[in-house]
Structure 1
Amino acid sequence: MPTAGDTALDPAAARATATGAATGSAGEAALVLVGGHESGGGERLRALAGGRSEWRAVGPGRALAGAVAALLAQSDRPVCVVPMSLGRDPRLIADTARTLRWLSGPANSGRLALAEPFGGTEHLIGWLRGGTGRALAPPEGAPAGGTGTAGDGAAGEQAAGEPTAILLTAPAAGPFEDAELFRIARLVRQYRTHRWVEVAFENGDPSPAEGVERCRLLGARRVVLLPAAFGAAPVVPGAEDGGPLLSSRAVAGVLRARAAGAVGRLLQGVDGIAAGLDAEHGHGFPHSHNSLAPHRH
């Protein structure tokens, strides 16, 4: 399993590194990171863009429109917009596409691209499984015990000497987005030997403090917080910080991959905006369609 510091955690990242080195096209594009509820409306992305003059981190709507318009006016470089979703914010992708459609007039033809989102739920599950393995690993220098490896859940718990629960945290959003995190938590736990992967929401239900208390009632003596979002997990008395979802190096690798892919498609005349407009379709309550209209799920 890849670690948080490994850019190979996303196969596209490895391909983009080689492609970008050969063509340089991705490096020439200005990059805009647009965030929704998974990044506090973009606030938690600013640290990722800090110190990089060609990267901007913004929220959706007017902030995004202003940043993209300014970059288009500053130079002739292409502008690539990456929806910073981890799979639980399809509305962000659709809203971003709507904003970019408004900006993609003839004057900006061939210069504006909507990249694929930073990650999907399948990425998030893998990254959280990696973080869980690190959190349950025994302290450095401690015997692993048994035949299991340090990241094998129960073996790690036994070496650490305490029953451990993992508490996934994220900013609260809507009911469907929050429910999706419960599904993700179940898949993070699946096929592993550790017993508890629970969920809590910042400014939501259950709160991180309530989540920690639930873990204690289930029998955990050690609770480790892992963010299922950008930024750090909240500080909760009696719980440990499991670190960020991804290292800064891994985040940069994924972003380079997304930018390289978007610029490559832009050179073929595909800006990704039309596809992004449909990203929210099927999200939320069920709906019906005219049987005569062509439709794809």
Structure 2
Amino acid sequence: MAAQTPRILIAHCGVDASPEFITTAVEGLDTFDQTIVTSTGTELRSTLADLGREDTENLHIVVMPMTSGRNLPLIADTAKTCQWFKRNHSNVRIALAAPPLGATTTLAFLRATLRRETSADDIAVICSAAIDPFADAELFRIARLAWTHSSGADVVVAFDDVYPSVSQTLAPYKATLDDESLRPTRRSTVIRADLQTAENQKPLITSTALATAISQSAKTALHLLQSHDDDGIEAALLADHEHGYAHSHGEEDGGHGHSHGHVHGHGHHHHGHVHGHSHGHGHNHHHHHHSADVHTEFDLGNIDADATE
């Protein structure tokens, strides 16, 4: 009988994911022989280097960026590290899995929490760690969509460490909050939109549901690697390609515009793996990036957005 392939999962956290919360979620995942949680690029690179030095035959590593979908630079940076490892360790097979949540699943969990935790008279604060101006702006769009078809509560946005904070966001409503003379009493509820946790704030997702999402993505990455030789790295390198300001090198630079091929990543609801194909169409080269076209979504059939622990 052939020896079982050793499997290791590395859950790589950005600023929008709590290593402690992620550690709780990945404990007990039976798909992998070992799970490791990293929280900086240096730590991820060091962890991979250590694994590459081990004399383990046919080792398979799955690396998963821990984000609720808005941290596109994290996905791209993680892909670069995986690419570096792949080039230098041909004896180890490595795959980059899609994040556990994408825009659609994050929206579903936010709506479920709004319906469960708020009423039409309340104020719901959708809160997240600040990622970058573009990812933060995306949160306002998601919050607006979450408000649609939810409880009817007023929905506002706040961040942990930049303007507007939770207290700044709630300041205009202070006179009416918890006023016992009002019937019903108006309450405020803070709901996370990332994979961080905080006291007196509702998490975006329970650790049990997060474990399910992580398991789905990791199994998909293993399947695509082993059965289709698709490691998910190439397309993820461009996850943040259209994320940010767009500055054309066209007429403003003397009319010497140039073009290059553009990779579009197409996420599929049935497996959620980030992969894509190249289109050789030309367009003006952008010095920075604008909105992304990499989608990482999952089938919600196996994840209960209304689940509570």
| Aligned counterparts of 1:256 and 1:128: Cα–Cα separation in 2 | 21
- CA distance in 2 between counterparts of 1:291 and 1:37 reads 35
1:173 Cα deviation from its structure 2 partner? 2.4
The alignment status of 1:273 with 2:236, answered yes or no, reads no
Q: What is the alpha-carbon distance in structure 1 between the residues aligned to residue 224 and residue 133 of structure 2?
A: 35
1:247-262 to 2 correspondence within 5 Å?
A: 247-262=206-221
RMSD, aligned CA: 2.6
Q: Does 1:167 align with 2:125?
A: yes
Distance 1:51 1:72, change over 3 A: farther
How many angstroms apart in 1 are the aligned matches of 2:204 and 2:96? 24
1:259/1:28 CA distance change after superposition, 3 Å: farther
Q: Secondary structure at the match of 1:38?
A: coil
Match of 2:195 among 207, 215, 230: 230
Q: Deviations over 1:130-152 (max 9, x none)?
A: 1111102xxxxxxxxxxxxxxxx
The equivalent residue for 1:65 is 45
Residue 295 of structure 1: which of 262, 269, 274 is its match? 262
Letter in 1 for 2:16: E
126, 129, 140: which is aligned to 1:182? 140
Distance 1:117 1:128 in 2: 17
Structure 2 residue aligned with 1:11: none
Structure 1 Cα separation of the partners of residues 34 and 175 of structure 2? 48
- Tell me the secondary structure at the aligned position of residue 205 of structure 1: coil
Query: What's the TM-score once normalised by structure 2's chain length?
Result: 0.70
More displaced stretch, 178-187 vs 59-68:
59-68
How do residues 104-253 of structure 1 correspond to structure 2 at under 5 angstroms? 104-105=86-87, 107-108=89-90, 111-136=93-118, 153-154=119-120, 163-216=121-174, 221-235=186-200, 241=201, 243-253=202-212
How much does 1:61 deviate? Answer: 1.6
Q: Is the 8 A contact 2:61 2:92 kept in 1?
A: no
**For residues 88 and 47 of structure 1, what CA distance do their matches in structure 2 show?**
22
Larger deviation, residues 263-272 vs 45-54:
45-54
> Does the alignment pair 1:284 with 2:244?
yes
List gaps (5 residues or longer) in structure 2: 179-185, 250-256, 264-292, 294-309
Q: Would the alpha carbon gap of residues 193 and 127 (structure 1) be closer, same or farther in structure 2, given more than 3 Å must change?
A: closer
What code does the residue aligned with 1:169 have?
C
CA-to-aligned-CA distance 1:97-137 (integer Å, 9 cap, x gap): 1111111136335611101122211211111111111102x
Q: Does the CA-based 8 Å contact 2:52-2:92 persist in structure 1?
A: no
* SS of residue paired to 1:97: helix
Residue type of the alignment partner of 1:205:
Y
Q: Which has the higher contact order (CA 8 A, sep 6+)?
A: 1
Contact between 1:166 and 1:198, CA under 8 Å: does it hold in 2? yes
Q: Which residue does the alignment assign to 2:282?
A: none
% identical equivalent positions: 31
Residue 31 (str. 1) matches residue 13 (str. 2): no
Would the aligned equivalents of 2:79 and 2:233 in 1 still touch at CA under 8 Å? yes
Kindly provide the CA deviation profile for residues 253-284 of structure 1, in whole angstroms up to 9, marking residues without a partner as x.
11111111111111121111111111111100
**Contact 1:60 1:92 survives alignment (8 Å):** no
Give yes or no for contact 1:172–1:204 (8 Å, CA) kept in 2: yes
Q: Is the 8 A contact 1:226 1:233 kept in 2?
A: no
Query: Which amino acid is 2:39 matched to?
Result: G
Moved more, 59-68 or 272-281: 59-68
